[in-house]
Amino acid sequence: MKSKKISQTWVSPRGRDWMVHHPHGKRASGIFEDKADAVDFGRQVSRRLKTEFIVQKRNGEIQIKDSHGNDPPQTKG
């Protein structure tokens, strides 16, 4: 079976904690008590894997969206 390319790294609430994970992943990359620690770790993972980085608020809304590595080249207008 072919593995899917990881395209996103998420930081999401998980109970009282924060979880760093990838969509369709079988387990979290990390669980943190402090959101700032989860964001720092998630950003490192996202940069290494060159994925889109998405951080949610406690209520599930998207707080941050950032892309690492797959941006189209800048064009002069």
Q: What is the pLDDT of residues 28-71, one digit of tens each?
A: 999 999 999 999 999 999 999 999 999 999 999 999 999 986 56
Q: Beginning with the edge strand found earlier in the chain, give each strand of the sheet holding 17-21 in spatial order.
A: 30-32, 17-21, 8-14, 52-56, 62-67
Question: pLDDT-based confidence at 3, cuts 50/70/90?
Answer: low
What per-residue confidence (pLDDT) applies to 37?
Answer: 99
**From CA 59, how far away is CA 45, in angstroms rounded?**
23
Highest mean pLDDT among 23-27, 32-36, 70-74: 32-36
18 exposed, middle or buried (CB, 10 Å; 0-12, 13-18, 19+)?
A: buried
What are the backbone dihedrals phi and psi of residue 18, each rounded to the nearest 5 degrees, phi first? -125, 135
pLDDT band (50, 70, 90) for residue 1: very low
What's the pTM? Answer: 0.83
